[in-house]
Structure 1
């Protein structure tokens, strides 16, 4: 039986990004949140640097370096630190549901800072999705992880800021190039953590170390490569539909890998997030040039490009 390579790449991306959340929980058994952040980004940076010549990744313009530093700080360094700290207490599946609210945050930030028009669908969808995320965070009070859940929400906000700041870069570079630049910049910003990371690496058990390397090689590096391959051959609509499977896949993988049983309130909040995103991304039938920038999946360039970056662990 012959499988479609594009659909396989898309499915691989969804599974890789979904698997990142339980892999973080495993990695945290041997590393602190800060050390894991640097280790994951360093592995991803090395892998992307190795394949960059093959994939045709160009050097960024000198004028873009400051913006790349900002995207690396928000979308890589801050995101990793906050997410890892939050997952010390928050179950992997629950963290995946919270991070799924990133497109709603991105849409509202685009209204405030990028001059996007606030439509009823955008406002309603964003409020529903954010309400679902807040429900998950507040429900953590019973399990003692409310503060950590808000940290995961902070990670989602960092990712939303990343999607806002990369828009000018996507006018001149591919989505894969921007992801590589941001990964390298985020790694450089965490270099001061290198001594403690090396010490932790020398003392960490094999399982957490393997999970950390897995995070850098597969969800981070290979995930973006597979995503770029699929999106060069698919429409934005098809990709958007696939991204809704990430939180669902996260729950399934977390159950199989870690034995996690999601709380009823977390599932209810997750359903609200997905419903809000569906409303947020609803387009008029007559629209053919692609959705407005704030309604596209995170990292999506304009209609002339089809390489996007979706929610990830």
Structure 2
């Protein structure tokens, strides 16, 4: 058998680094979003986060000689993807975490891969091309969902034992809002995959975040969010972290993965992110880990593995054709 070429190994390394970035950085944003939302209005958080990320991307492109121009016809598609990722999803997630605990939010948001699978199935049924999960993929998705449930069930049970979710109002509305966030992100993921953007990954990310930032700014101004904002170092630091690691690094890595890996595999971030959030809570906030949570993490890893390898036959490697379409 021929050995993998250096370009193939380099691509594999980039994909692994991109997965690690999405898993780690987006997993840590649950805490940062919660802190930012406690101190600042939701539209202000979304606007400042997006605009700061856009400014950083423009500076990087300037110093590296990249042009911010994109191929004809891609601008509005990038803008639409940005509105789904960084406006609808981001604001709904921040709003939802005001009404339910972050662990509960993670449980709801982890339905994103299921929604992606359903969207893909609906596209196939309507006569369009799609990437529906096979039996192993669906099994892995359901196992991952079960792992998330085991992971957060102890904290949810403790909260419900005190006549509802203590310290939070309107938990039912919060679940509905978080489901909307998951639907927005699932739609954006499938849409981005279909568009097969030709623009440079960093430039494409800048267009997405910048378009969302302008929209979020308009919402913040119209709603009077800046007048109600009480700036604190915790809120400001959280926005900076979300801008650099959540939006810039995270979305650049995510955009790269969508163009090089099947969307059903990219969606495994929804299983790993809550696990990262719990680990950071344990290490930074000194939250106690129970055996059920450790068991949940093990189940999640098993589910992720099943989804990742669900579209690979034994002895074959997934490759990407010249158009960016994942083929086997």
Structure 1 residues 78 and 235, CA gap change in structure 2 (3 angstroms): closer
What does 1:247-262 align with in structure 2 at a 5 Å threshold?
Answer: 247-260=274-287
Inter-CA distance 121–153: structure 2 relative to 1 (3 Å threshold): same
1:161 corresponds to 2:170: no
**Structure 1 164/57 Cα, relative in aligned 2: closer, same or farther at 3 Å?**
farther
Runs of at least 5 residues in structure 1 that lack an aligned partner in the other structure: 293-300, 305-313
Superposed CA offset, 1:165-212 (max 9, x none): 1123335234434332211121122232243343244x3222112212
Match in the other structure for 1:311: none
> Partner of 1:111 in structure 2?
121
Pick aligned residue for 2:219 from 190, 193, 216: 193
What is aligned with 1:74?
Answer: 84
Change (3 A) 1:15 1:55: farther
Q: Secondary structure at the residue paired with 1:179?
A: helix
**1:251 CA drift (Å):** 0.8
In the aligned structure 2, how far is the partner of 1:274 from the partner of 1:149?
25
Deviates further, 78-87 or 150-159: 150-159
| Counterpart position of 1:295 | none
CA distance in 2, matches of 1:289, 1:247: 27
In the alignment, is the contact (CA less than 8 A) between 1:38 and 1:197 conserved in 2? Answer: no
Which structure 2 residue ranges, 5 or more long, are not aligned? Answer: 1-12, 124-128, 166-170
How far apart are the structure 2 equivalents of 1:266 and 1:98?
Answer: 17
Cα offsets for 1:269-304 (capped at 9, x unmatched): 776655444322222214323499xxxxxxxx5349
Partner of 1:307: none
Instruction: Specify the alignment match of 1:92 in structure 2.
Output: 102
**1:95-148 deviation line (CA, Å, top 9, x unaligned):** 3454344334323322222433452123333444456668869x5782433432
Residue aligned with 1:74, SS: helix
Q: Which of 69, 74, 80 is the equivalent residue of 1:59?
A: 69
Q: For residues 168 and 278 of structure 1, do their structure 2 counterparts lie closer, same or farther at Cα, with a shift above 3 Å needed? A: same
Say whether 1:21 aligns with 2:30. yes
1:287 aligns with 2:297: no
Q: In 2, Cα distance between the equivalents of 1:242 and 1:105?
A: 12
Query: For the residues of structure 2 that align with 1:211 and 1:154, how far apart are their CA atoms?
Result: 23
The count of corresponding residues between Structure 1 and Structure 2 is: 286
Partner of 1:302: 325
CA contact (8 A) 1:18 1:250 kept: yes
Cα 1:260–1:149 change in 2 (3 A) is: farther
Q: Find the residue that maps to 1:28 and give its secondary structure.
A: helix
Deviation for aligned residue 1:163:
0.7
Q: How does 1:158-307 map to 2 (within 5 A)?
A: 158-195=184-221, 196-201=224-229, 203-224=230-251, 243=269, 245-260=272-287, 274-281=301-308, 282=310, 283-290=312-319, 302-303=325-326
Write the distance in 1 (CA, Å) between the matches of 2:174 and 2:314: 41
Distance 1:261 1:107 in 2: 34
Alpha-carbon deviation of 1:152?
A: 2.3
CA distance in 2, matches of 1:116, 1:241: 12
The answer for the alignment partner of 2:140 in structure 1 is 125
Asked if the contact 1:86–1:151 (Cα under 8 Å) also holds between the matched residues in 2, the reply is: yes
Please say if residues 93 and 262 of structure 1, whose CA atoms lie closer than 8 Å, have aligned partners that are also in contact. Answer: no
TM-score (norm 2): 0.69
In the TM superposition, residue 10 of structure 1 has moved relative to its aligned partner by 6.6
**Segment drifting more, 172-181 vs 150-159:** 172-181
